[in-house]
Amino acid sequence: MKSDVRWVGFDMDECVGSVMPLFDFLHEVRDDVFEPMLDLIYESEITGRTWLFRPAIFKTLRTLWLAKTAKKIQGAFLFSNNGSARLVRYVAAQLNYFIQRMMNVPVADLFQMAIHLSAPCRREFGSEKSYEAVQHCLATHDLPPCSSPEHLLFFDDMSHVLQSQILHYVQVSAYLNHTDVSILADVLRPLSYDDWDALVESAVLSQRQEIKDNGYIMEPQEMSVMAEEEQLFHKAIRTFLGSAKYSRINRRNGKLSFGAQKTRKVRRRL
C-alpha cells in the first residue's frame, strides 16, 4: 500500500525568524562565499551572538528531521510572501545547515522547497496562501503533493485562506526580536565585500525604517517565552503525526476525514 504524503510548511518572516537584517548583506555577498556565510550564521545563532531565528525553531528542526528519517513526513518547505527569492532560498538553506551541524549528518534535506512571493508557480495565485497554491508549487518542483488537506501542517504568524482549508494550521505569535545589524556586520566581517562601510551604512538605514514600521524588539527573546513556544511547536507536530491513525480508521468506516469534520481554533498569541 502506498504511504501517505505528509508535508510541514512554514511562513518565513516573523514565523521562522526575524531575518530581514540579512537582506542587505545577502544581496551583496558573492556566490563563492555563500557556504562560509551559512557557517558564520550557524555559530552566531548557536552561541546567542545573534537571534535572527526563533529560538524554538532549533528543537523543532531536530523533531522534524527525526520524523523525516523515520519516513513519517516527506519533508518541509518555506512558503513566504517575502519578495526576495535570494533571501527565502538562503533561509531554507540555513535551516538545513542547522540540522546538518546539530545532528552531525553529511547532508540535511529537510527543506526541499523555498517559495517567495513572485515564484513562477504562484503566478496564478498571487499572494494567496492556499492549499491549492501549495499543491501546485509542490508539483511544479517535482515533489509529491500532500495526500489530502489533513496531510499538511502549516505554521504562520498570520491568518490566511489556508487556515480554513486544513486542520493543522498553527498561528504562532509574531517573532519580533530583531538582531542589530551592527552585531550582524561584525559576524559577517570575514566575508569579502567590495565596499564594506557603504554596505553597513545601507543596512543600518534599512533597519531603522523596519523598526519604525514593525515595532521590532532589539534584544533576544526571554527564555520563558522560548520554552512555551517549544511546547507549542512540539504539540502541533505530535498532533499532526498522531492524526494519521485516526484518519485511516475514519476512511475504513466510510466516515468523513477528521479535517472535514472539524474546524480548528488557533491561538493568536501564546
pLDDT digits (tens, 9 = 90+) for 181-216: 999 999 999 987 778 888 899 899 889 888 877 889
pLDDT digits (tens, 9 = 90+) for 92-119: 999 999 999 999 999 999 999 999 999 9
Contacts of 198 (CB under 8 A, 6+ apart): none
Query: What average pLDDT does the chain have?
Result: 89
Contact call for residues 72 and 64 (beta carbons, < 8 A): no
Instruction: Of 38-42, 234-238, 244-248, give the lowest mean pLDDT range.
Output: 244-248
Q: Which pTM does this prediction carry?
A: 0.89
pLDDT digits (tens, 9 = 90+) for 238-262: 999 997 554 443 333 333 222 332 3
Contact call for residues 187 and 51 (beta carbons, < 8 A): no
Residues found in the chain:
270
> Going by CATH, does the domain composed of 7-17+53-177+220-261 fall within 3.40.50?
yes
What mean pLDDT do residues 235-240 have? 98
User: Considering only CA atoms, which of 43, 48, 49, 155 is closest in space to residue 102?
Assistant: 43
Instruction: Of 58-67, 227-236, 261-270, give the lowest mean pLDDT range.
Output: 261-270
Give the domain ranges of the chain: 7-17+53-177+220-261
Chain-centre distance for alpha carbon 267? 18
pLDDT at position 244 is: 57
In the predicted structure, residue 90 carries a pLDDT above the cut 50: yes
